[in-house]
Amino acid sequence: MVFRKTVHSIGWRKCMLLNRERLDRALAENKVDAVVAATFENVRYFTGIGSVSLKIHPYFGNCYAFVTAGSTGGAKLVSSVGEVDQVLDSFDGVEVAATFGTFYREMRDDGPLRLTEAEARLKAASVELASSGAPAAALASALKAAGLARGHIGLDEDGMKPGIGEELRRLLPEARFSNASDLLSWTRRVKTAEEVRRLRRAAAATEQAIRAVVAVLEEGVTERGMMLEFNRAIASQGAIPQLTMIRFGRNGVGGQVLPDLTRLRKGDTIWFDVACTRDGYWSDIARNVSFGEPDLRVATYYAALKHGEDVAIESARPGMTAGALFDLMVDGVRQAGIPHYRRHHVGHGIGAEIYEKPVLTPGNDLVLEAGMVLNVETPYYEFGTGGIHVEDPFVLGDDGANVLLTGLARELMVVEP
C-alpha cells in the first residue's frame, strides 16, 4: 500500500508518453481517422501498459489500442479478457473498448461484497462486458462502436498477427485500411518530456551499475562474474538488464560473444556495451576501463573515438540529415587519430526500442528534428587489441542546445590494480 500511494503521489497515471500533437498532425496529413497500435512498444506508447500477451506470446499474442483523430480522451484498449486487468495500470482516460477469449473471475457467494474502485472497474471490463470469441472480431466491434465502420483506419502492420488484417477487412467491408507503422514510427521520433525522463532514468541506472562493478575490480575476476554483478546492480535499481556485453582485452573484438571465464589481468582493457530498460525505456551506453596503465594504442584510439562523439553532441542541429552527421563523426575520428576509421553507422534513435529512427548511416537523408533522442557511438574493433567504444544518448535541442542524458565520465577510465 505504501508503494501504491507513492506511485499516485507522483502522478504516474497522468504521465502520458504519447506525443498527441504530433500524432494528430500525422493523422490529418494522411487523412486517417484512427490508428491501431499492435506492437508491444506502440500499445505501451498509447496506454502505458506493458502487455503480458505481447511479451510472453510475441508470435501469436494479441493486444491492441487505438486513437481516433480529433478525440480528447485516452486510447481505447482491446485485450484478452484474461489480461484486461492490466487496464488498472493504464494512463488516465484509457478505456476498455472490447475483450476477447475466455477467463473466469468469480464473485464470493457468502454474503454482500463491497468492491473497491479497482475491483469494480475490473468487474465491469472482465465480467459485465461481453467478450468476443476472437481478437479480430473484438477489434472490429470496437472500431465500429467508435463510428469507424466507414472510416480510414491505419493499422500497425508491424505488430499485426497473420490473418488479423484480412479478417478486419472482411468484418468492416466499408472501411478503408492502410499501413500505419511508419506513421507511428514518425510520431515517436520526437520525444515527450515523460519519455526523456524515462530515458534519463534508464541511463542513470546503467551508469550506476558500471560504477558499481568498476569500484570492486580485482585481478582474477571473470567476465561472467562481472556480468552477474552488473546485472544485480541494474536489478537493484528497479531496472531490467537487457544487453550486458562485457569483454576483457582482446576478447572485445567479438563483443556479441557471451562473457566467459576469461580472468581479468593487469593491463587489460575492459569493454562495456551495456543496456537496460527502466519504465519501458532503453539505455545503451559504452565505455572502456583500463585495469592498470592504459595501452598507448588503446588510449590514443579511445581519445579519437571520443572526439568523434564530441563532434556529434556539439554539432548536431535540427534540419541536418542523419547522413551529414555520420560524415562529421567519421571525419572527426579520422582527423583525431584513426585515419583508417570506418563504420556502417555511428548511432541511432532510442526510446521504447533500443534502435529507433533515425539510424546514422552514410547517405541517410532523414532530417533530424528538435526533440529527438540520439544515441551516438563510435566503436572500433581490432584483432589483437579488442573493442574500443564510447556511446551516449542526448536530446537534440533547438539551435545547438543539445542535452546529454548521461553523467558518467566519458574519458577512458583507469583503475589501479
Q: What is the pLDDT of residue 49?
A: 97
Q: What is the pLDDT of residue 11?
A: 40
142 contacts 76 by C-beta, under 8 angstroms: yes
Residue 376, pLDDT above cutoff 50? yes
Q: Minimal CA–CA distance to 227: which of 238, 237, 241?
A: 241
Write down the pTM of the prediction.
0.94
Residue 6, pLDDT above cutoff 60? no
Note the pLDDT tens digit of each residue in 271-298: 999 999 999 999 999 999 999 999 999 9
In this prediction, residue 334 has a pLDDT band, given cuts at 50, 70 and 90, of very high
In this prediction, residue 133 has a pLDDT band, given cuts at 50, 70 and 90, of confident
Q: What is the pLDDT of residue 327?
A: 98
Residue 1, pLDDT above cutoff 80? no
Note the pLDDT tens digit of each residue in 33-43: 999 999 999 99
Q: What is the pLDDT of residue 14?
A: 53
The average confidence (pLDDT) of the chain is 94
Q: What is the pLDDT of residue 12?
A: 42
The strand ranges marked E within 29-94 are: 34-37, 64-68, 76-80
Residue 222, pLDDT above cutoff 50? yes
Mean pLDDT of 52-77: 95
282 contacts 365 by C-beta, under 8 angstroms: no
Question: How does DSSP classify residue 372?
Answer: B
Mean pLDDT of 98-111: 93
Q: What is the pLDDT of residue 15?
A: 59
Q: What is the dihedral of CA 125, 129, 134, 136, to 10 degrees?
A: -80
388 contacts 254 by C-beta, under 8 angstroms: no
Residue 167, pLDDT above cutoff 80? yes
229 contacts 363 by C-beta, under 8 angstroms: no
Burial class (CB within 10 angstroms; exposed 0-12, middle 13-18, buried 19+) of 240: middle
Q: What is the pLDDT of residue 399?
A: 81
Q: Minimal CA–CA distance to 203: which of 310, 272, 256, 278?
A: 278
304 contacts 277 by C-beta, under 8 angstroms: no
**Cell match 482516460: residue?**
93
In this prediction, residue 58 has a pLDDT band, given cuts at 50, 70 and 90, of very high
Residue 5, pLDDT above cutoff 60? no
CA distances from 325 to 164, 233, 312 (A): 40, 34, 7
Residue 112, preceding bond cis, omega within 30 degrees?
no
Mean pLDDT of 111-136: 93
Residue 235, pLDDT above cutoff 60? yes
Residue 50, pLDDT above cutoff 70? yes
**Cell match 479480430: residue?**
136
Residue 341, pLDDT above cutoff 90? yes
Residue 16, pLDDT above cutoff 90? no
Q: What is the pLDDT of residue 197?
A: 97
Query: Would you say the C-alpha torsion 365, 370, 375, 380 has a positive or negative sign?
Result: positive
d(CA 191, CA 85): 28
How far the first Cα of the chain sits from its last, in Å, is 46
d(CA 210, CA 253): 20
d(CA 199, CA 202): 5
Q: What is the pLDDT of residue 10?
A: 36
Contacts of 296 (CB under 8 A, 6+ apart): none
Residue 7, pLDDT above cutoff 70? no
Query: Can you list the domains of the chain with their CATH numbers?
Result: 2-189 (3.40.350.10), 193-415 (3.90.230.10)
CA distances from 152 to 140, 187, 241 (A): 13, 18, 40
Mean pLDDT of 256-279: 97
